[in-house]
Structure 1
Amino acid sequence: MHSTRFDLAVVLTEHARLRMAERNMNAALIMEIIDTGTLKDAGNGHYWLYKHLDARADNLLCVAAVIDNVVVVKTVMHHWEPRP
């Protein structure tokens, strides 16, 4: 997978893959969140990327990632709420 937003490869941890399956999220959806979602800096190269999708009742959908020379997706969440 490759992010057009960051022009970097995207790697999923095993934890992220398990959470994707539990939350009925596929790679295309993860890439949509990464490339078009809201980006929030969590500090030290860690980021929250999140997006509301009208077709889903479990919003907000969020990807927790480390961005350096690749985008490493640590986990994916639903019913997420950004903190101020």
Structure 2
Amino acid sequence: MKECPTFWECAHLIIDLVETGNTKYKDETRLWISKSYPHRNDNLICAAVVLENVLVIKTVMHNWKLMEA
């Protein structure tokens, strides 16, 4: 299992997630950004974010599953 052993490795993972992940919008300002990382045991990582003047990451989840509305 490969997890984020250091703060900087976790920070780089979150930056990669935000820059290259798949987006699913809830509405105009709220969305989820998710990406699969095959080298991780908890594979699908997701960030719940809000678009304001800046991108606000509200939470980061692992072992996440996309639910269709």
TM norm structure 1 = 0.67
What corresponds to 1:58 in structure 2?
A: 42
Q: Specify which structure has the bigger relative contact order, considering alpha-carbon pairs within 8 angstroms and separated by 6 or more residues.
A: 1
- Code of the residue aligned with 1:47 in structure 2: it is L
Aligned length: 62
Task: Give the deviation of 1:47 after TM superposition.
Answer: 0.7
What corresponds to 2:20 in structure 1?
A: 36
Q: Which runs of 5+ in 1 are unaligned?
A: 1-22
Specify the SS of the correspondent of 1:26. helix
TM norm structure 2 = 0.81
Query: Could you list the runs of 4 or more consecutive aligned residues of structure 1 that deviate by over 6 angstroms after TM superposition?
Result: none
Q: Which runs of 5+ in 2 are unaligned?
A: none
Task: Give the root-mean-square deviation of aligned CA atoms.
Answer: 1.6
Q: Deviations over 1:34-58 (max 9, x none)?
A: 0000000022411100000111010
Percent sequence identity over aligned pairs: 39
Specify the SS of the correspondent of 1:43. coil
